[in-house]
Amino acid sequence: MARHPRLALPGYPHHVIQRGNNRQPIVLDEADRKMLYSLWMEESQRHKVAVNAYVLLDNHFHMLLTPPSEEAMSLMMQAVGRSYVRYFNQRHKRSGTLWEGRYKSSVIDSEAYLLTCMAYIDLNPVRAGVAEAAEDFNWSSYKHLIGQKIDKLVTPHALYWGLGNTPFSREAAYAAFVAAGLSASIQKDLTESVLKSRVVGRPEFLKSLQKKTQRPILPQKAGRPFKTPPKNQ
């Protein structure tokens, strides 16, 4: 069965996940993390893709990306994937695939879910049990967004800037938002949506997107399409 083209919309944030094949590690040490990070930096700048948030764990990563064109995000991710696998295999004297197929992505309704998706990404190390709090983890966007360090990879979304009139107020507001945590249902919805490449948004957002693409956005009824029976001649 032919694969559906990935839904990529210019100017909209996309939640992206890439896993290691069979959940195997994609980074083994700090050198690997720095290499993958440098490729993100290089290719996001080359293709002018804004990295609104990210987290890198041992066997997968999440990113929140806003591309300027339909093809920019795909070009960025493909370039990173190829270059990193070549580096990883050569350095660790291995061969074969590293990734679990293509990366997966989900368009995000920024007005309703952008900050929630950012928090979901920054809290990933806590859910994974590798950090007690988001600020304890070094390989994510969180410390930049709360003002603890400068991370040149991160380009905060306009809605983040709307959290306050000063850097301190924005950082404090985001820290409080993350500290409040996310409900289990929201976490489940964001996880399932990105794995199934399903748009996350309000009904009116889904309807507006449907007008911009032939890809099915709105929920489809189960079963075969209903056919009107022919009239008796």
Angstrom distance (rounded) from CA 33 to CA 183: 30
Span 77-135, pLDDT tens digits: 999 999 999 999 999 999 999 999 999 999 999 999 999 999 999 999 999 999 999 99
Could you tell me the two tokens for 80? 């990173």
CATH of the domain at 189: 3.30.70.1290
Does residue 156 or residue 232 have the better pLDDT? 156
DSSP letter at 216? -
In a domain, 30, yes or no: yes
- Residue 120's alpha-carbon distances to 23, 92, 108, 181, in angstroms, are 20, 31, 13, 9
According to the model, what pLDDT value does residue 233 have? Answer: 41
In a domain, 163, yes or no: yes
- Residue 106's alpha-carbon distances to 47, 48, 221, in angstroms, are 19, 19, 21
In a domain, 6, yes or no: no
In the chain, how many domains are there? Answer: 1
- Sheet with 50-56: strands ordered across: 50-56, 60-66, 14-19, 104-107
Angstrom distance (rounded) from CA 233 to CA 215: 37
In a domain, 229, yes or no: no
Question: Which residues span the domain enclosing 75?
Answer: 14-201
In a domain, 222, yes or no: no
According to the model, what pLDDT value does residue 77 have? Answer: 98
Angstrom distance (rounded) from CA 196 to CA 176: 30
Compute the average pLDDT of residues 137-156.
98
In a domain, 211, yes or no: no
In a domain, 50, yes or no: yes
| Selection from 8, 54, 60 nearest residue 155 by Cα | 54
Span 173-232, pLDDT tens digits: 999 999 999 999 999 999 999 999 999 999 999 888 888 777 777 665 444 443 444 444
In a domain, 217, yes or no: no
Confidence label for 7 from pLDDT (cuts 50, 70 and 90): confident
Span 38-71, pLDDT tens digits: 999 999 999 999 999 999 999 999 999 999 999 9
